[in-house]
Amino acid sequence: MGYQDVRFDSSTTFLVTGGAGFIGSNICGALLRMGLAVRCVDNLSTGKMENINELMGNSGFSFILGDICDSATAFSLTSGVDFVLHQAAWGSVPKSIKQPLDYEEINIKGTLSVMEASRFNKVKKFIYASSSSVYGDEANLPKKEGREGSLLSPYAITKKTNEEYGKLYSSIYGLETYGLRYFNVFGKKQNPNGEYAAVIPRFISCFIKDERPTIYGDGNQTRDFTYVENVIEANLKACLAPSHNAGRVFNIAYGAQERLIDIFYKLRKLMGKEHIEPLFEQGRAGDIKHSFADISNASEAFGYDPSWTFSMGINDVISWYKSNL
């Protein structure tokens, strides 16, 4: 269970793009705890130095302030690297609807830039973050790879485009790519502020401040919330996946459904804020109603076995936010 038994040669070097972001910084920390060398690149457009300050003194860690859309930067970063864990991207479906050109530039060009550099520098495996948003309006549950619907946002288009490039780079160029379709990741270091903040850190932040959280829609929409430790496990195990799985995409989730309104009440109780009621606003364009993943392909391909349940993750993350907000 988890990634405690995952082993790499002590000389292994990783590149984590978007390494000062929420997921990237958690991955960097896990790799360093394993005694491995980590290059972290971020342009700090959404990442934050405070996410990696605790890592800066580690001899195995190097931070590069740079833009992966620049091909020379991408080539330099991937030179001498064994594995690329590509997390750099702009998230948020609503924001992508307002800024589609920015998402095209950052999410597609940035990914292709690092993928191409990885090909030339003979990186062993290129693991990249995709998203459950690629399922679009496909209504069947659980979500299963190969059964996608019409895309509902520019963000979803960027992630699906990256998957298509991943397939091509494996089949044409021999670069082993593995796409990880994240389902509603939450955890430590996730930004609770701003218009596009994810729901769990936003709820927790509101409760800490004694404010009323906003729920978009009626609260009956469901999500397959996935604690960040499970995502770290998926990235590390994908690095050791048998080569015949290259070019594929895999659901990375816990494999359960949670209603947003139930999460509100659960957090409210855990944080002793029973006097606070939610604010309801109209649902947002591009949001899907229900999300629930079949994770059997990831389990079969590289032994993905998420050990952090939703409740375990919630308790862990509440403690972190209480100490860090």
Q: Are strands 222-223 and 258-259 parallel, antiparallel or unpaired?
A: antiparallel
For residues 39 and 60, what is the distance between their CA atoms, to the nearest angstrom?
Answer: 8
Options 155, 178, 182, 227, the catalytic residue: 155
- Are β-strands 83-86 and 61-65 bridged in parallel, bridged antiparallel, or unpaired? unpaired
216 is a catalytic site residue: no
Q: How far apart are the first and last CA of the chain?
A: 31
Cβ contacts of 277 within 8 Å, gap of 6 or more: 212
Cβ(251)–Cβ(295) below 8 Å = yes
Interacting residues of 71 by C-beta distance below 8 A, sequence separation 6+: 113, 116, 117
| 72/68 Cα distance (integer angstroms) | 9
Collapse the DSSP code of 23 into the 3-class scheme (helix H, G, I; strand E, B; otherwise coil) and give the result.
helix
- Tell me how far apart the alpha carbons of residues 302 and 91 are, in angstroms, rounded to a whole number: 26
For helices 199-208 and 310-324, what crossing angle results, to 10°? 50
CA distances from 325 to 144, 227, 266, 320, 322 (A): 37, 19, 20, 8, 6
Give yes or no for a contact between 301 and 250, defined as CB atoms under 8 angstroms apart.
yes
CA 238/CA 17 separation, integer angstroms: 16
Distance (Å, whole) CA 41 – CA 207: 33
Peptide bond between residue 94 and the one before it cis (omega within 30 degrees of 0):
no
Catalytically active residues are 155
